[in-house]
Amino acid sequence: MNGTLAIARREVADRRVILLTAGVLALIPFAVLLIPSVKRFGSGMVIAAVGGFVALSYILALTLLLGATFIGRELADKRLSFYFAKPLAASSIWFGKLAGSLATIVLAAATILIPSMIAAAEHWTPVWRRGIGYGALVALALFLLAHTVGTMFRSRSPLLLADAACAAVAAGVLSALFNTLAAGHAQLLRYQLGGVLVALLLLFLIAGGAWQLSRGRIDPARNHRELSRFLWSAIAATLVLLGIAVFGIVSVTPADLGSQVWAGTPPAGNWMMIAGPVQHRGDYRGAFYLNVANGEYRRADARSIWWEMFFTPDGLVAGQLRPVGRGGKGPVQLELVRFGERDVDILPTQVMFSRYTQPVLTTDATRVASVANGIVRVQSLPDGRTLALARIPGAAQHARLFFDDNHRLRLFSVAGGRLDVFRLDLRSRRLQRTGTFTSTSKVLGFNATADGSRLLMRAGGELSVLDGRTAAVLAKLPGEGRGAILSDGRIAIVDAARGKLSLYGSDYTLQRELALPGMRTIPFLREVEGGKLFVGGHRGGAANEPDGRGWSVHVVDIAAGAITATGRDLRPMPQDLHFGLGTADPRRVAATADGPFIFLDADGSVVLWDPASGTKRAVTRAS
């Protein structure tokens, strides 16, 4: 310890000139005030800003210079033997010189900053003070990196090539591991791991210096060799451990998903997407394509929670949009997953992400249509060609798209109280308005049939059935409930206030009314294959609790007009509750005609419910 302190003292004393220079630089913020035009910014602000700038510049230069020379120069000049010929441990030499150099930097920074902090105290806000803390960390990192790079370059050894290769490999592995976590949207986890890695790297750089002197002593080439050996071994071990940790984090199954589960359901078929936070793994989110019929699953990118995902009408292909690069400002990539095939297609697109409009795929997944910034675009996926591009007249707030076939696209555009129906012909590339619906209400909510031929419009407390091509009003239905057009042309309307379900025929006449016992809030109405209708609701009160308590689901036989099964404590998946806002419609079927069907159980876990037997099978465990 005595040796360490003695060396540290010497290092500071030998660098008196640096501190004297800092003293002179400390006067600059005050000297700048002598310039008349500067005073208009306020003397306090000028002193603080100039003082901060001068200190930052000087400390940055000093950090790099001292870092590169505090050991390296004496090593190159063969003067380290002076210390090694004394009863000083190599670690004392390293830590003494390190402490002395860092103390010099701190003293120099303090010499410049303290006068301006005193003179302009009101401008040294907590934000600036925090900046000093971060700055100190950055300075330490730069200092140690300058030493490391300096040691490597001074040796002029071919080992430099190996260092470069190791650095590239380490960066690649790190990037791959962090991308793996990014795919699970684990932002906090990445920050935390990043912090730990930075701390470890600093530790390795500090310990590496002690190691290099201990094993390399006065020989520059050997110092380089030992430093490289230590650093890359430590980094490799860390990356292996990190790899194991990341593998442990990402090795989750659908059963590991906790509460707050998200699900994406196709119009048909057994495959669905299920995603959400994973227990005991920070903010990592697992994402899976899950076959609800047999429990088979494959991993997916959890970023689709935030970046839209969708299915072909037959539910056999899932499309997922991913941002390219940082910020997600440009066109997105489309990942196509064909269930039953192993490979995943990742295709570049010209699709721009839009929060309000979901892209759609043709049934054969060869074309994708999207709307962004008021422009509709259809792209051929195999070759990336743009097949059609058109500006939508009016300021569309959101739009719904339907492929009539591979050559015709239908577009419902909503702006305020107006709905426009357009048809885009891909052969002629013409966008043609085919109808308009207007309402005095500024908020329109509608559901469409699977083929988009009819719409059930809810506007200003009225329910209207519209023609999906001309937007002409075909019928007006009584009541203020919410509803859906069923596949056989009938219409189902739920009235939560009265706790009843009304079924209308395709001629819009009332056929049946059913009481919905125990439901005060009924946000869920879904037709499934086989002429069944699911009605989900809450008994009232805390309907927003993230579990199934107080919820129930009735299965209605449409033809018979009777409730055939009731599931207690079952809640529809949260994203399905936006019923009536145009984001949920009866096309989304989560399972086969006979079930089982996916719901949240009383404890928040995801379960598959079989209405025929009334049994529940857990898909996830509630946290």
Partner 1 sequence: MNETQESAVRAESVVVRYGRRTAVDGVTLEVPRGSVCALLGRNGAGKSSLVRCLIGQQKPDAGSVALLGRDAWRHRAELMERIGVVSEESDAPPQMTVAELARFSASVYARWDQQAVDARLRRFAIASDARFGNLSKGQKKQVMLALALASAPELLILDDPTLGLDPVARKSLFEEVITELAERGITVLLTTHDLAGVETIADRVAIMREGRVVVDEELEALKARFRRVRYAQRTVALGSGALGVRSWGSNGAEAVVGDYDERMERFRAAEVATMSLEEIFIAVAGDATGAES
Residues 6+ apart with CB under 8 A from 429: 387, 388, 389, 390
Site for partner 1 in 542-571 (CB under 8 A): none
- Closest CB 96 distance from partner 1, rounded Å: 10
- Scan residues 92-151 and list those touching partner 1 (CB under 8 A): 92
If one asks whether residue 10 binds partner 1 (CB under 8 A), the answer comes out as: yes
Q: Which residue has the tokens 């300021």?
A: 395
Q: How far apart are CA 589 and CA 54, in angstroms?
A: 65
For the segment 220-249, give every residue that binds partner 1 (CB under 8 A): 222
Give the three-state DSSP class for 331: strand
The verdict on 8 binding partner 1 (CB under 8 A) reads: no
Residues 60 and 67: beta-carbon distance below 8 Å: no
Contacting residue, 23, 41, 61, 81, with partner 1 by CB under 8 A: 81
- 76, 154 contact by CB (below 8 A): yes
Per CB under 8 A, the list member of 20, 24, 57, 86 interacting with partner 1 is: 86
Q: How far is the CB of 80 from partner 1 (least distance, A)?
A: 8
State how far the Cα of 546 lies from the Cα of 601, in Å rounded to an integer: 10
Q: State the number of binding residues for partner 1 (CB under 8 A).
A: 24
Q: 210 φ, ψ to 5°?
A: -65, -40
Cα-flanking dihedrals φ and ψ of residue 229, to 5°? -60, -45
Q: Are 166 and 174 in contact (CB under 8 A)?
A: no
C-beta of 39 vs 86, nearer to partner 1? 86
- By CB under 8 A, residue 442 contacts partner 1: no
Residue closer to partner 1 (CB basis): 220 or 604: 220
> Out of 39, 79, 430, 568, which residue is the one contacting partner 1 (CB under 8 A)?
79
With CB under 8 A as the contact rule, the residue among 2, 37, 294, 373 that binds partner 1 is: 2
Which of 1, 31, 40, 87 contacts partner 1 by CB under 8 A?
Answer: 87
Out of 33, 145, 218, 236, the residue judged to bind partner 1 by CB under 8 A: 218
Applying CB under 8 A, among 219, 283, 404, 467 the residue interacting with partner 1 is 219
Nearer to partner 1, 72 or 595 (CB): 72
Mark 205-216 as b/e (b = at least 16 C-beta within 10 Å): bbebbbbbbebb
Is 373 buried (19+), middle (13-18) or exposed (0-12) by CB count in 10 A? exposed
Q: Binding to partner 1 (CB under 8 A): which residues in 167-186?
A: none
- Tokens describing residue 258: 């906790």
82 counts as binding partner 1 under rule CB under 8 A: yes
Residue that has been written with the tokens 């591009």 in this structure: 389
Residue 9 tokens, joined = 């003292």
**What minimum distance in Å lies between the beta carbon of 52 and partner 1?**
32
The residue range among 31-39, 82-90, 134-142, 507-515 that interacts with partner 1, by the rule CB under 8 A, is 82-90
Residue 518 contacts partner 1 per CB under 8 A: no
| ∠ CA 273-303-300, rounded to 5° | 40
* β-strand partners of 408: 405, 425
- The residues of the shown chain that bind partner 1, judged by CB under 8 A, are 2-3, 6, 10, 13-14, 78-82, 84-90, 92, 215, 217-219, 222
